[in-house]
Structure 1
Amino acid sequence: MAERKTYITKTRTEILEYLKQNWSVTVSASDIKKHLEEKEIKANTTTIYRYLDKLLAEHVIIKYADAGSERAVYQYSGEMGHCVQHLHLKCVKCGRILHLDCEFMDEFRNHLKEDHKFRLLCEGDLLHGICGDCEKKMEDK
């Protein structure tokens, strides 16, 4: 069976650019659809989800369960797909995503593996809290 050719369409290009521009926050499929409509690009929801699934499979984006709702949200992680190796922190005030990509993650992952016989899978996991910027704003009030 022949491999299906991947087409680079205007819609796909615009979706990927939107995800890249909003890399520091999560976006929903409805956010993407609204953005496309503002750019006067017609795309049905199925097309958007199909492309998001493709980007997920390639580890270009990460899918999270949105806190407080049942919808999925997505974040651009880059073509390198390095975000599957560490946890992410989401500020509940501003929505910014921070990467917990430091030596602590290696120590934590090794501790879990050695002491608890548990392999940590980081893809799609968020820890929720308040970022330093929002914390400072709250203290200044």
Structure 2
Amino acid sequence: MRREYNTRQKREMLKFLQDRRLQHFSVDEVVAEMQDRGEKIGRTTVYRFLELLTEQGNVRKYQNAQGITQYQHVEDVSSCDDHFHMMCKNCGNLIHVDCELMHSMAEHLFAAHGFMLDPRDTILKGLCEKCREGGEEAEDHGAHWHKECHHCV
């Protein structure tokens, strides 16, 4: 049986996570912050610790628009359970959305199509307000509908 140690490095990483509750960060950002604090810590150590916390439900993990793995310390496992997420394809910003229309859409998908949408794993991609105002253009992939819904028309 492997023993878990409460090392100074882990305590420092936990402090980093608590200071950035509900913010998003990469392994490299944690390593850089730890090094700025004078903590000698390897990328692998940070990765393994974040993966452990992800398995325990204390950290959420996702890919940003650039394909970089991002983490979010949620502390309360249910803090992301009831809202949806939007990600800007330009800057990678992840936005939490608690919108009645989205909840209605999820209810519709279940009632009309038998599909249960999981908000925790749902990320809508597009352009955030800041990037749109900055003149960024969204890629136009066109609409691709695979099945028409008589409830939606």
TM-score by length of 1: 0.73
The equivalent of 1:126 in structure 2 is 123
Distance of 2:111 and 2:71 partners within structure 1: 32
1:108-127 correspondence to structure 2 within 5 Å:
108-127=105-124
**How far did residue 26 of structure 1 move?**
2.5
15-24 vs 35-44, which moves further: 15-24
1:53-64 correspondence to structure 2 within 5 Å:
53-64=51-62
The equivalent of 1:89 in structure 2 is 86
**How far did residue 23 of structure 1 move?**
4.4
Contact 1:112–1:118 (CA under 8 A) maintained in structure 2: yes
Residue segments in structure 1 that go unaligned for 5+ positions in a row: none
Task: Label 1:92 to 1:67 Cα distance change in 2 as closer, same or farther (>3 A).
Answer: closer
After the TM superposition, which segments of 4 or more aligned residues of structure 1 sit over 6 Å from their partners? none
19-28 vs 71-80, which moves further: 19-28
**How far did residue 118 of structure 1 move?**
1.0
Distance of 2:63 and 2:92 partners within structure 1: 14
Alignment of 1:99 with 2:96, yes or no, is yes
Task: Label 1:104 to 1:18 Cα distance change in 2 as closer, same or farther (>3 A).
Answer: farther
Letter in 2 for 1:55: L
1:1-141 correspondence to structure 2 within 5 Å:
6-23=4-21, 25-69=23-67, 71-92=68-89, 95-136=92-133
Percent identical residues = 30
Contact 2:65–2:91 (CA under 8 A) maintained in structure 1: no
User: Taking CA–CA contacts closer than 8 Å with sequence separation of 6 or more, which of the two structures ends up with the larger relative contact order?
Assistant: 1
Q: What is the number of residues matched between the two proteins?
A: 136
Corresponding residue SS for 1:123? helix
Distance of 1:134 and 1:23 partners within structure 2: 24
